[in-house]
Structure 1
Amino acid sequence: MVSVGRWVLFAIVAFLIVGLTLVISTVLCAMAAYGFSRFNSKGVSVAFAFVLATMLIPEVVTARPLYEFMQKVKLYDTYPGLILLYISTVIPFTVLILRNFVGEIPISLEEAAAIDGASFSQRLFTIVLPLMKPAIATVCIINFITCLNNFFTPLFYSNGIQVLSVSIVQLPLRDNMYGVPWDLVSSMGWIILLPIIIFVAVFEKQIMDGIMAGGVKA
């Protein structure tokens, strides 16, 4: 029997991994989105297209070479390795939404601040980033759900580490291989779904507003 304490441990580990993923990916993608939106050059456009192209590659295609790479750099079956993999998963979508959102922010605001003597970092952190809060909140919520629902990454790239998304397959079978403990599976499913239901119920308006603002380009 899988104890409640073990389930709680799975949940804590999963939320720590997802939390670090959201913080790191949001900071990196916010700065990248600003650069992709404000600096127009052929190299920047190619880099942005390359980031978006990675969204079209299925995980199973890169699984084998990435598995071998993770083993060579000693990141297989480690928490930093899982965090890096989660970050790489959410970066394309996050950059796309934030970049389009930054494009809707009038550049005249930054120009006015520059005339008043504001430096580049001051314009970025005191003007642009505060205006990006709706989009940042939206991508954080969506990425939280995406990471928590990710089954393939922790299953394929970890062995000793057990997180919430793979704990269902760790449930013991009864009597024979066909005796699935559906009561335990249902309980674990509710533990996984409950945070997602709460997030969507509370932030539904922010999710829709952020997607419409960042996903539609005039």
Structure 2
Amino acid sequence: MTNRAWGKIGRPAGQGLMWVLTLLYVYPILLVLLSAVKSKSELAIHPFSWPKHWTFESFSKAIDTMHYFRSLLNTVGIAAVSVAGVVVMAAMAAYAISRRDNRFYRAMYLVFLAGMIIPFQMAMIPLYKVLQTLYLINTYPGVVFIYLGMLAPFSVFILSGFVKGVPKELEEAALVDGSGTYKTFFRIVLPLLKPAVTTVTVLNLFNVWNDFLMPMLYLSDSKKGTITVQLSAFQGMYNNDWSLIFAGVCLIVVPMLVIYLFAQRFIISGITAGAVKG
């Protein structure tokens, strides 16, 4: 069979497979949205059908029960400080690792790579002991410190590959003009890392936003809980009201979905560029 014949067969088959995979990914999201606008009785009788009577009562009830705006503020505060801190520190570490070619910095890079391999479940009890010793249990700084350590390895891995693609001549010209190392980094190098920084920022934001285990372990006060922890309370309190649970899921997912739709171009370009240049 000629290449042209294979093309006529392969292209429609590939497009068909793409649509099948798209439906497999979209269907669960659509099911959650449709379940959230059904009444409790309708969801129990017709869980997979199109809603006959649209109702948004579950959303208002979920907002009140989750203390949504308070938990949202907690989540935004933790995520903003953690992500901003890890991006700045990881960018500086990646710059040093990429520009200093000696054993120490190569060893530090391997340490960061090892941090990507070790699962958090192995360290959560020792970390609890450390926070307890430092009197940081049930405090926002304690959770932020752990996020900084958890998110740093992946961030350094992405950013270091991208820093290698920045021409050294730009830094040398800045040094000749009297610019110091820090000034060169923040004014010359960091602006050129915008795609990679955007990628790291968004992906780390997703990790912090969707995380359940960390706030549950280290923030025992319900008033300091994040939105994922507040959602878990529905399972015991409203274990039969699935429309309320699906409404809570929508309230958590929609903000991140909007951010991803605006930032997906930077995420793809940043990961691709980092992978190629690293």
TM-score (norm 2): 0.73
Letter in 1 for 2:181: F
Question: What's 2:234 paired with?
Answer: 171
Q: Distance in 2 between matches of 1:54 and 1:38?
A: 21
Question: What's 1:63 paired with?
Answer: 124
**Which residue, 243, 260, 271 being the options, matches 1:211?**
271
Question: What's 2:241 paired with?
Answer: 181
Q: Distance in 1 between matches of 2:274 and 2:152?
A: 15
Displacement, 1:117? 2.8
Q: Distance in 2 between matches of 1:14 and 1:187?
A: 18
8 A Cα contact 2:66 2:230, kept in partner: no
Q: Distance in 1 between matches of 2:73 and 2:243?
A: 22
Residue 191 of structure 2 is aligned to residue 135 of structure 1? no
8 A Cα contact 2:66 2:227, kept in partner: no
Q: Distance in 1 between matches of 2:244 and 2:92?
A: 43
Residue 101 of structure 2 is aligned to residue 40 of structure 1? yes
Q: 60-69 vs 109-118, which deviates more?
A: 109-118
Question: What's 2:206 paired with?
Answer: 145
Q: Distance in 2 between matches of 1:41 and 1:172?
A: 53
Displacement, 1:14? 0.3
Q: Distance in 1 between matches of 2:257 and 2:201?
A: 15
TM-superposition CA deviations, 1:94-140 (whole Å, max 9, x none): 11111111010010111122223322222212110111112111111
Q: 118-127 vs 143-152, which deviates more?
A: 118-127
Q: 55-64 vs 164-173, which deviates more?
A: 164-173
RMSD of aligned Cα (Å)? 1.8
Displacement, 1:174? 5.3
Number of matched residues?
A: 215
Q: Distance in 1 between matches of 2:178 and 2:277?
A: 31
Question: What's 2:173 paired with?
Answer: 112
8 A Cα contact 1:174 1:181, kept in partner: no
Q: Distance in 1 between matches of 2:189 and 2:115?
A: 27
Moved >6 Å (runs of 4+): none
- In structure 2, list runs of 5 or more residues that go unmatched: 1-60
8 A Cα contact 2:71 2:230, kept in partner: yes
Question: What's 2:259 paired with?
Answer: 199
Q: Distance in 2 between matches of 1:5 and 1:72?
A: 31
Q: Distance in 2 between matches of 1:180 and 1:97?
A: 43
Q: Distance in 2 between matches of 1:174 and 1:118?
A: 60
Q: Distance in 2 between matches of 1:69 and 1:51?
A: 20
Q: Which has the larger radius of gyration?
A: 2
- In structure 1, list runs of 5 or more residues that go unmatched: none
Q: Distance in 2 between matches of 1:174 and 1:66?
A: 30
Residue 73 of structure 2 is aligned to residue 15 of structure 1? no
Give secondary structure in 1 for the equivalent of 2:67: helix
Q: Distance in 2 between matches of 1:199 and 1:147?
A: 14
Query: Percent identity between the aligned chains?
Result: 31
Question: What's 2:220 paired with?
Answer: 159
Displacement, 1:180? 3.7
Letter in 2 for 1:170: A
